[in-house]
């Protein structure tokens, strides 16, 4: 990811949530992306057990609550940038995939293909926890096949982010395939 950043480190003396013995060091990087976006990357590392947590926070973002819709028609649309805030619900109706926000939801910044890879990994984890004779295996294989087609730009689909809290956004590769509908904070599907 070409761009430039400035690196700072601050140490805070709070206990590690994992081992409860170590001290968390916080590393931050302010990053200027080539398209003018600014991101703050934060890394938390325990000095005892190496517990790690990363977060990405946009410094320039849409703050309106809304429904963002991106029609993914071909491989070039997979490069569209996606920023999902912790209050954003992400869905792909054609693949019957929905990610609901939860109390431990993180910010994440990726592209459409990165979203698909996340879904693929989640489905593979689920599949690997099934018994060899589970009747769901055929359905899971179909889902993985559709995900692979989508990852390769061979399946048209719609990516929708509904964010009543605001903060999520999509930077489309082709703006004609993107729409935004502002909603009240109280409007949830």
Q: In 60-156, which ranges are continuous DSSP H helix?
A: 112-128, 137-151
Measured between alpha carbons, how far is residue 134 from residues 24, 36, 128 in Å?
43, 49, 11
Q: CATH number of the domain at 136, please.
A: 2.60.120.1040
Q: What is the pLDDT of residue 60?
A: 67
Identify whether 165 is part of a domain: yes
In this model, does residue 6 exceed pLDDT 70? no
Q: What is the largest CA-CA distance in the chain?
A: 53
Identify whether 132 is part of a domain: yes
Identify whether 72 is part of a domain: yes
In this model, does residue 111 exceed pLDDT 80? yes
Q: Is the pTM of this model over 0.85?
A: no
Sign of CA dihedral 175, 181, 185, 189: negative
Q: What are the tokens at 172? A: 């489309």
Task: State the total domains in the chain.
Answer: 2
Q: What are the tokens at 110? A: 């990726």
Q: Identify the bridge partners of residue 23 per DSSP, sorted by sequence position.
A: 15
pLDDT in tens, 113-158: 999 999 999 999 999 999 999 999 999 999 999 999 999 999 999 9
Q: For residues 56 and 43, give the distance between their C-alpha atoms in angstroms, rounded to a whole number.
A: 9
Sign of CA dihedral 85, 66, 159, 173: negative
Question: Do residue 49 and residue 100 come from a single domain?
Answer: no
């Amino acid at each position: 990811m070409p761009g430039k950043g400035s690196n700072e480190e601050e140490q805070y003396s709070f206990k590690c949530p994992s081992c409860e013995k170590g001290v968390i060091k916080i590393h931050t990087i302010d990053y200027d992306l080539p398209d003018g976006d600014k991101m703050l990357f934060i890394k938390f590392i325990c000095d005892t057990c190496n517990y790690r947590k990363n977060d990405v926070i946009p410094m320039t973002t849409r703050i309106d609550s809304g429904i963002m819709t991106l029609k993914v028609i071909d491989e070039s649309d997979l490069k569209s940038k996606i920023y999902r805030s912790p209050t954003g619900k992400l869905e792909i109706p054609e693949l019957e995939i929905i990610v609901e926000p939860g109390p431990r939801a993180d910010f994440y910044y990726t592209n459409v293909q990165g979203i698909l890879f996340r879904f693929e990994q989640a489905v593979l984890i689920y599949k690997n926890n099934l018994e060899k004779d589970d009747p769901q295996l055929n359905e899971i294989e179909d889902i993985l096949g559709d995900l692979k087609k989508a990852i390769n730009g061979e399946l048209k689909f719609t990516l929708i982010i509904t964010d009543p809290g605001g903060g999520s956004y999509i930077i489309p590769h082709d703006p004609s395939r993107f729409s935004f509908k502002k909603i009240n904070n109280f409007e949830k599907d």
